[in-house]
Amino acid sequence: MSEQAIKVEGLTKRFGDFTAVDTISFQVEKGEIFGFLGANGAGKTTAMRMLIGLSKPTEGQGFVAGFDINTQAEKIKKNIGYMSQKFSLYNDLTVKENIRFYGGIYGLSKSRISEKTEDILAELRLFEVAKKPVRELPLGWKQRLSFAISMVHDPDIVFLDEPTGGVDPHVRRQFWETIYQQANAGRTIFVTTHYMDEAEYCNRVSIMVDGKIAALDTPDQLKKQFNSKSMDEVFLKLARNV
C-alpha cells in the first residue's frame, strides 16, 4: 500500500440528503503531479478536506502517505503540506518569522529551522526582504513563499488548493517551475486549479462532475478520448454532458 502516495476507494461524503462526494476511487503515484479539476460545487474541496484530515468520510477507505484517513488523521497531518486558496501567511510577521513559526508548529529543531530559513530565502532570493513584514511583498512572491513554507517540514505530499488564483501569467509560469522541481525531487503534488492551461502541466488529471469523477487520465489521453484540441474543450464537453 505504500507504493502509492494516495489511494482512495469508494470515498463518500454526505451532508444530510446531499451527497457532496459520491463513491470516488483513484490512486496517485509517488512523485506525480496530480491535477484535481472540477467546476465550483463539484465536490473538489470536500474531497480534498477528507484527504487532509479536516473532515471524516461518511463511507469509503483511503490512504494518504501510507496512513488511513479514517483512523490516522493525525499521522497524515505530519506528512503532508497544505497551501490553501486563501493567502495563508501572517501579514504582520516578517518573512523570517513566518518561516520560524510554521517550522515551530511542525516541531522542527532550532538548527533545522535556521537551515530551512536560509534555504528558502536563497531559493526565492528573498534575503533583502527577510526582515520585512510579509504584507509589503508583491502577491506573486507571497504565493511562492507560501508554497515554500507549506513544505518547511519536508512532507511526502503537498496539497495545493488553487495556488495560483489572482496571479499574473508570468508568476504562474514561475510557480509551476517550482512545482516541477519539487516533483522531480520525488514529492507528490496534488493540485486543484481553475486554469485549464495549468491542467496541461499535470501528469494526470481527474475531472469531477456532481460529486463523481467523470474522467481520469493523462491530459493527452483525455484530449484523444473526448476528441478535443485542448483541456478547456474536454472540460466544457464533460460539463455539458450532464
State the residues that interact with another protein by CB under 8 A: 52-56, 74, 77-78, 80, 82, 84, 86-93, 97, 100-107, 133
Q: Give me the least distance between CB of 86 and another protein, in Å please.
A: 3
Judged by beta carbon, residue 32 or residue 162, the one nearer another protein is 162
Cα 124 from Cα 178, distance rounded (Å) = 10
Judged by beta carbon, residue 145 or residue 238, the one nearer another protein is 145
Q: Give me the least distance between CB of 53 and another protein, in Å please.
A: 7
User: Among residues 152, 148, 184, which one has the least CA distance to residue 163?
Assistant: 148
Judged by beta carbon, residue 52 or residue 126, the one nearer another protein is 52
Q: Give me the least distance between CB of 242 and another protein, in Å please.
A: 29
Phi, psi of 187 (to 5 degrees): -90, 140
Judged by beta carbon, residue 105 or residue 185, the one nearer another protein is 105
How many CA atoms within 13 Å lie on the side-chain side of 175?
A: 26
Judged by beta carbon, residue 152 or residue 238, the one nearer another protein is 152
Q: Give me the least distance between CB of 60 and another protein, in Å please.
A: 16
SS3 content of the chain, % helix, strand, coil (to 5): 40, 25, 30
Q: Given its phi and psi angles, is residue 38 left (phi above 0), alpha (psi -120 to 50 degrees) or beta?
A: left
Judged by beta carbon, residue 21 or residue 196, the one nearer another protein is 21
Query: Which residues, other chains included, contact 7 with Cβ-Cβ below 8 Å and sequence gap of 6+?
Result: 1, 27, 28, 62, 63
Cα 129 from Cα 59, distance rounded (Å) = 47
Q: Give me the least distance between CB of 157 and another protein, in Å please.
A: 12
Q: Give me the least distance between CB of 93 and another protein, in Å please.
A: 6
